[in-house]
Amino acid sequence: MSRLRYILDRVKYLEETSSVPALAKSPKPRPSRVAAVRAFNRFYTRRIGLLQRGLLDSPYSLTQARVLYELAHAKDATATDIGDLLGLDPGYLSRILREFERGRLITRTRSRADGRASRLAVTAKGRKVFAGLNSRQSDQVARMLAPLPDDAQSDLVDSMQKIEKVLSDRVSRKKVVLRQHRPGDMGWVMFRHGVLYHQEYGWDERFESLVGEIVVNFLKKFDSVRERCWIAEIDGERVGSIFLVKDTNSTAKLRLLLVEPTARGHGVGRLLVKECIEFARRAGYRKITLWTNSVLDAARHLYIEAGFQLVKEERHSRFGEKLVGQYWSLDL
């Protein structure tokens, strides 16, 4: 298995608005969460047999088997290519490759393009060894899944894919799509605001109640010409939201801006704010206002970047915490 490159929650545009504060810097992981991840790692490494001396009763370690796997699927790979792909120390990888050469699993040829580099190729013997390991590993996984009902197998695979997505950097290569709201979105907006703001700032259910009031009022009084809710998606999954609602004929409010932790640092918040401002101009508004809280430092960067000006501040304890509310305004 390759070394996963952890993408820690990046926090540049973590925001909120008008009545709901912006998301901010990701907190330090709770000790209980660190312990839970470590417990899972211990369970899973034992469950799939990674604690044995050799992988699948073979003379090869997990790392050796993974290097052989990558070589078998690569074309004209160099040691540098494999090292970068797996995040391996060059010296450690070099020892593995020398062992493979001694065992006649691979060959090296000098690169014509770069005389300092060698191209690695798997020999017929190497492919036979790889095929055996690959087959046994598939059989092992099949045996692990076999006792589980079909729905449990599906849940397990879905959970694994979600873990991979959260811990990988693939989201940075995905396209962000904005769309208008549809049935089911408002429940998601309320749920995610309630969960995230409690987890990250300790805000109580009164905050979720406020989000609910905003959502219900939006649906009851929705003006499709001058109001909007946008939902941001990546690969069909909701990762953010923003609302623009009418305050007066000339003033709109920006509200409920949210970016999921897995999508932070990839411009989702900036894209939502930009879309909101552009729509407000097209709708004929002359000003946009919003409300947030001073503890959300990253939000200020986003709002200042968009041209908002801080109007006033006031202390409050609306969500079970002592906070300083901030009012911002943007002339269109």
* Same domain as 117, residue 42: yes
* Same domain as 216, residue 124: no
* Same domain as 112, residue 194: no
Q: pLDDT tens digits, residue range 70-111?
A: 888 887 788 888 888 888 888 888 899 999 999 999 998 876
* Same domain as 177, residue 163: no
- Residue where a domain terminates, one of 167, 185, 210: 167
Average pLDDT, the chain: 84
- Smallest Cα–Cα separation from 319: which of 299, 290, 291? 291
Residue 54: how many other CB atoms lie within 10 Å: 13
pLDDT at 55: 80
Say if residue 113's pLDDT is above 60.
no
Q: Find the CATH number of the domain harbouring 266.
A: 3.40.630.30
Tell me the sheet residues that pair with 315: 324
Q: Is 27 part of a structural domain of the chain? A: no
Say if residue 6's pLDDT is above 80.
no
Number of domains in the chain: 2
* Same domain as 179, residue 311: yes
Largest CA distance in the chain: 79
* Same domain as 205, residue 133: no
Share of residues in the chain with pLDDT > 90 (%): 42
Q: What angle do CA 256, 173, 195 make, to 5 degrees?
A: 30
Q: What angle do CA 149, 153, 154 make, to 5 degrees?
A: 120
* Same domain as 150, residue 100: yes
pLDDT at 16: 36
Say if residue 124's pLDDT is above 90.
yes
In sequence order, the 6+-apart residues with CB closer than 8 A to the CB of 5 are: 87, 167, 168, 169
List the single range of 17-26, 65-74, 183-192, 195-204 with lowest mean pLDDT.
17-26
The amino acid at 70: E
Are residues 244 and 228 in contact, defined by beta-carbon separation less than 8 angstroms? yes
- Smallest Cα–Cα separation from 242: which of 209, 288, 284, 287? 288
Give 208's pLDDT tier (boundaries 50, 70, 90): very high
Instruction: Calculate mean pLDDT across residues 247-272.
Output: 90
pLDDT at 303: 82
Q: Is the pLDDT higher at 27 or at 274?
A: 274
CA distance 189 to 242: 9
Q: Which domain holds residue 191?
A: 172-331
SS3 of residue 232 by DSSP: strand
Q: 140-145 — which CB contacts under 8 Å span 24+ positions?
A: 140/48, 140/49, 140/56, 141/48, 144/47, 144/48
pLDDT at 3: 37
pLDDT at 5: 38
- Residue where a domain terminates, one of 147, 167, 187: 167
